[in-house]
Structure 1
Amino acid sequence: MRRPFFTLLAANAVSATGNVLSMLAVPWFTLETTGSAALTGMAAFASTLPIVISAAFGGTLVDLIGFHRVSVLSDVASGLIVIAIPALFLTTGLSFPVLLALVFVRWLTATPGETARKAMVPDLAELGRVQIERATAAYDGVNRGARMVGAPLAGVLILWLGPTALLFVDGSTFLLSALLIGTGVPQVTHAGAPRESGGYLRDLGDGLAFLWRDRVQLTGTAMIVVTNMLDTGVTQVLLALYARDVVHDPRAFGLLAGGVGAGAVIGTIVYGAVGERLPRRLTFGLCFLVAGVPRILVLALGAPFPLALGVTVLSGFAAGAINPLLGVLQFERIPTQVRARVLGTMTAAAYAAMPLGGLLAGSLTELTGLTVTLFAFTAVYFAASFPPFVSRAWRGLDEPSRAGAPTQAG
């Protein structure tokens, strides 16, 4: 009974690839049709703001409506909206305000689908008798792989087809994902875990209250908030400055950014193979520490580029275990009834501070210089990595607790 789980992975790979295509196709389409960098920036903003809003408030709706149904509806809506952009442009015309509205609604509807697919992982893994460590590693590995393939694929397709035709291709990926989930993934429920609603606001409050009470989930989310902000500053600002001012070669920027991703894919695969035998608290703590501190510190120290690239790949390898481990904790500790709303809250928090990372990196570099900024980012990353080593709540991490077994809905 592993086919539904593998179908979920395939559908998520297709949908994640579509998301990456959107992230490149829409800005390029905007730039080509308007010729304005400022309007392109507005389109990018319209793509990111709804993710935070939808993740924060959409998880409760996912719990109420159901994981399976939301995944299908979300992908269908995303596909039709994306296809509507080039269709309107080629027929009746497409004004910029309408483009912004379509982009905003597209990402507003896409995020609940991502939450719903992630929420289905433990149920389908249980049905397929897949170890939860391997299931979460496979799910995260598919996401990382889709991003790695999707970005260069988008560049090739933009050159080959143009951004207008690419948006038609992009929309079809979401419709394919909806078809895979709708026909190949059964609806699963947990016996003894009815999804009763006390109203939207009360259900939303229940999810927030659970996250507040679970100190492991709360501190883990706080760690991700801080480090996502730092990673955004490093990737969008500091790596580019390092490549320009230290290495004097723009190719270094791409190699360093790609090195993290390549190492993370390998790390995810390795964790999926051996993760169930590793101590969770120590593994998470060490991987979190190695994932950020060494790759920023080596840049601050002005190390030769080959050494910096090697350390970056090593840090990426360590980062590969972080998301699967977090997934294990989430699926074991969050009750099914509130799973989507808690996951949505975590996703919203993870994205919330990311726009500040670039602003912080840029302004601090202007004031103090690149080297001091890199040392400052290293110090904050080091401090943010400490909770697993010092917090009492994390000491019980190696004692898994599982909810009731899922059953296929008839």
Structure 2
Amino acid sequence: MPLLHSTVGIELWQLMALVFLGALLDAPGATARQALFPDVVELAGVRMERASGIRGAIQSGAVLVGGPLGGALVVGVGATTALWLNAASFVVSAAIVAVAIPRARRELDAEPPGRFFAELAEGMRFIWGRRLIRAIVLTVLLTNFLDAPFPVVMPVLAREAYGSATDLGLMYGILGGAGLAGALAYSALGHRLPRRLVFVCCFSILPLMYLALATLPLFPAALAALAVVGFAAGPLNPLLHTVSSEVVP
């Protein structure tokens, strides 16, 4: 994207195509990270709740730092340079995974891999045949669909209602910081709390952010709403990762 922008220029349809391609290619990477996680937890010798909470805290911490940093970079060096730096960060991340994470000690499956579509059908049958996993998949599918406009709406909201990329970075920073606190809280206390109650309570709070932002509140009120929702959202992904890792072979 920054290469096209810096050379021949980029049209809106090309930008949309690149966004679609990036999301499409991100799916195998996300699946690989999820599959790698139980092995890393086993090698570390920690509780799954604790490891999932730490993982969620790292992700929220990245938003906490990355949001304000991204806003500052856009203002300071321009959007194109910020995109180049973002691309370089993915290369560094891949190198860390390749070099620093040891291979799992578990025995490799001796069965030869089957055909792609046969394995895909088997996976779908597994999901649909287990009520808990089916509920998780359908819930995440629906919420991701409804939440998809959020990254698009947030920059527009920050520009039209509050004025600058710095405000957008601060909003993402507050959201990420609160998510970091929520994930750390789950990491410390998650194994003592009833999972269903935690999920229902935290999930019920999420719509409040959209209701609050829809009123175009003053900037401090918007930050407060993001903080509350971020803290409630912090435990959700660690909780779902914990349950999935326990149930999915």
TM-score by length of structure 1 reads 0.51
Counterpart-to-counterpart distance in 2, 1:157 and 1:200: 42
Question: What pairs up with 1:140-179 in 2 under 5 angstroms?
Answer: 140-153=56-69, 159-160=76-77, 163=80, 167=84, 173-179=89-95
- Corresponding residue number in structure 1 for 2:5: 31
Counterpart-to-counterpart distance in 1, 2:171 and 2:108: 49
Unaligned 5+ segments in structure 1 are 1-25, 53-107, 336-410
1:250 matched to 2:166? The reply is: no
**Equivalent position SS for 1:267:** helix
Identity %: 33
Equivalent residue in structure 2 for 1:274, among 189, 193, 196:
189
Equivalent residue in structure 2 for 1:283, among 186, 198, 202:
198
- Which has the higher mean CA deviation after the structures are superposed, 189-198 or 211-220? 189-198
Counterpart-to-counterpart distance in 2, 1:304 and 1:157: 25
Whether the aligned pair in 2 keeps the contact of 1:134 and 1:273 (CA below 8 Å) is yes
**Equivalent position SS for 1:186:** coil
Counterpart-to-counterpart distance in 1, 2:63 and 2:131: 31
Counterpart-to-counterpart distance in 1, 2:8 and 2:242: 45
Whether the aligned pair in 1 keeps the contact of 2:67 and 2:168 (CA below 8 Å) is no
1:261 maps to amino acid: G
2:148 maps to amino acid: T
Counterpart-to-counterpart distance in 1, 2:87 and 2:154: 34
Counterpart-to-counterpart distance in 1, 2:89 and 2:204: 36
1:293 maps to amino acid: P
Counterpart-to-counterpart distance in 2, 1:170 and 1:306: 29
Counterpart-to-counterpart distance in 2, 1:239 and 1:125: 36
- Corresponding residue number in structure 1 for 2:18: 46
How many Å apart are 1:304 and its aligned residue?
Answer: 5.3
Whether the aligned pair in 2 keeps the contact of 1:30 and 1:40 (CA below 8 Å) is no
Whether the aligned pair in 1 keeps the contact of 2:68 and 2:169 (CA below 8 Å) is no
Counterpart-to-counterpart distance in 1, 2:21 and 2:83: 23
Question: In 2 relative to 1, CA 123–242 (structure 1 residues): closer, same or farther, beyond 3 Å?
Answer: closer
Equivalent residue in structure 2 for 1:221, among 137, 152, 157:
137
Question: What pairs up with 1:363-402 in 2 under 5 angstroms?
Answer: none
- Which has the higher mean CA deviation after the structures are superposed, 324-333 or 143-152? 143-152
- Corresponding residue number in structure 1 for 2:122: 206
- Which has the higher mean CA deviation after the structures are superposed, 221-230 or 199-208? 221-230
- Give a deviation string over 1:338-393, Cα, whole Å, max 9, x none: xxxxxxxxxxxxxxxxxxxxxxxxxxxxxxxxxxxxxxxxxxxxxxxxxxxxxxxx
Structural RMSD (CA) = 3.4
Counterpart-to-counterpart distance in 2, 1:270 and 1:316: 12
Question: In 2 relative to 1, CA 177–195 (structure 1 residues): closer, same or farther, beyond 3 Å?
Answer: farther
- Corresponding residue number in structure 2 for 1:184: 100
**Equivalent position SS for 2:114:** coil
- Determine which structure has more spread, i.e. the larger CA radius of gyration: 1
Counterpart-to-counterpart distance in 1, 2:92 and 2:154: 38
- Which has the higher mean CA deviation after the structures are superposed, 273-282 or 140-149? 140-149
Counterpart-to-counterpart distance in 2, 1:51 and 1:43: 12
**Equivalent position SS for 1:259:** helix
Whether the aligned pair in 1 keeps the contact of 2:63 and 2:177 (CA below 8 Å) is no
Equivalent residue in structure 1 for 2:239, among 315, 319, 325:
325
1:280 maps to amino acid: R
Unaligned 5+ segments in structure 2 are none
Question: In 2 relative to 1, CA 238–117 (structure 1 residues): closer, same or farther, beyond 3 Å?
Answer: closer
- Which has the higher mean CA deviation after the structures are superposed, 177-186 or 128-137? 177-186
TM-score by length of structure 2 reads 0.79
- Corresponding residue number in structure 1 for 2:209: 295
Counterpart-to-counterpart distance in 1, 2:61 and 2:71: 16
Question: In 2 relative to 1, CA 187–234 (structure 1 residues): closer, same or farther, beyond 3 Å?
Answer: closer
How many Å apart are 1:182 and its aligned residue?
Answer: 3.4
Whether the aligned pair in 2 keeps the contact of 1:259 and 1:313 (CA below 8 Å) is yes
Question: In 2 relative to 1, CA 171–186 (structure 1 residues): closer, same or farther, beyond 3 Å?
Answer: same
- Corresponding residue number in structure 1 for 2:153: 237
How many residue pairs get matched? 246
Whether the aligned pair in 2 keeps the contact of 1:260 and 1:312 (CA below 8 Å) is yes
Whether the aligned pair in 1 keeps the contact of 2:41 and 2:51 (CA below 8 Å) is yes
Whether the aligned pair in 2 keeps the contact of 1:122 and 1:135 (CA below 8 Å) is no
Question: In 2 relative to 1, CA 279–239 (structure 1 residues): closer, same or farther, beyond 3 Å?
Answer: farther
Counterpart-to-counterpart distance in 2, 1:204 and 1:273: 36
1:206 maps to amino acid: E
1:213 maps to amino acid: G
